[in-house]
Each structure stands twice: as C-alpha cells, then as structure tokens.
Amino acid sequence: MSNVITGLFESPLKAKMAISKLELIGITSDEVSVVANDSYSKEDFAVDEGTKAAEGSVIGATSTGIIAALVAGFTTVGAVATGGAGLLVAGPMVAALAAGGAGAAAGGAIGAVIGAFIPEHEIKYYEDAIEKGSILIGVKYNSDNKDEIKDLFKKAEADKVSTA
C-alpha cells in the first residue's frame, strides 16, 4: 500500500480519539489499519457509548463506525507468523498479510508486518515502540487530505507521524 500516513500512539484512548476524528473528516474503515502488540485485546479498543474523552470529544454513537469495523476485524497474528511477537492487526494491513502469506513474515518479526507502511529506515523504531505498547495507525491518503490527516495525528498527540 502506498500513500500511507502513520501515527504512533501511546495508548488505546489516544488511538481511539484519533480514529474518531478521522471518521469526522470522512475517512472510512477501508482506509485505516491498526497494529498493536498482543498485550491489548479487542476490548481495549471497544467503544463505550456515551463516554467522553478528556478533551471533550464524544466517542460514542455518532463516531463508532470505523472503530466498530476495526474491532470486528481485529486479527491476532501469532508468534509463528511474526517470528516471536504476537500482534493485533486490523484494516487493509490484514489483507496485505494474507496476500504475503504468514511464512513471509517469519524472519522479520514486526518489521515484516509494518514494512509496507513505514519507511525502511524507521522500522526498528516502530518495532520497539509497538513491542513496548504503542499503537500504530496507518491511513491511506490522497492529495486532498494528506495535510489534514497529518495535522489531525499531531493534534491527537501522536508520538510520531510519518508518510510512506
């Protein structure tokens, strides 16, 4: 997948807030992928309707489409497929894994999973961050919304924003 902006978030709450804001600007679940380590579960990303985030954004009935689709589509990629690290993956990235076959990822751990979305020289940084609990969100962009997505990730307190 080309034309992807990624944001790395330190918590499921920040990741959910970013995804909710993406939905508000017209991004669909077909354009969003999420990767987290297997210390998280679907419940960490599930939406509690009526919950209000600290910044005042409502993560509830009005903005659950992408999150609900991602939670429903989460796949746990086990230790055999990733060379030792279990990952929780959702979105178009799952299709990329299926197309490449689980065996293709065996030698490269998380790097093989996220390599299509992250510039090669930054893969180790992302591997370490995901292993420590950060959540990677990748969004397919077009020339019209590229800057808006990058700005949204920064305002949502992404630790790192990259373009591939």
* CA–CA distance, 7 with 5 (Å, rounded to integer): 7
Average pLDDT rounded to a whole number, residues 76-93: 60
Cα distances (angstroms) measured from residue 104 to each of 85, 130, 148: 14, 20, 34
- In this structure, are residues 162 and 118 in contact, taking their beta carbons and an 8 Å threshold? yes
pLDDT (tens digit per residue) in 33-77:
888 887 877 677 765 554 444 443 444 434 457 777 777 666 666
3-state secondary structure of 145: coil
Average pLDDT rounded to a whole number, residues 129-146: 89
**Residue 143: per-residue pLDDT:** 83
* pLDDT above 70: residue 12: yes
- Give the residue from 111, 88, 84, 91 showing the smallest Cα distance to 40: 88
* pLDDT band at residue 106 under the 50/70/90 scheme: very low
What is the residue extent of each domain of the chain?
A: 4-163
DSSP 77: E
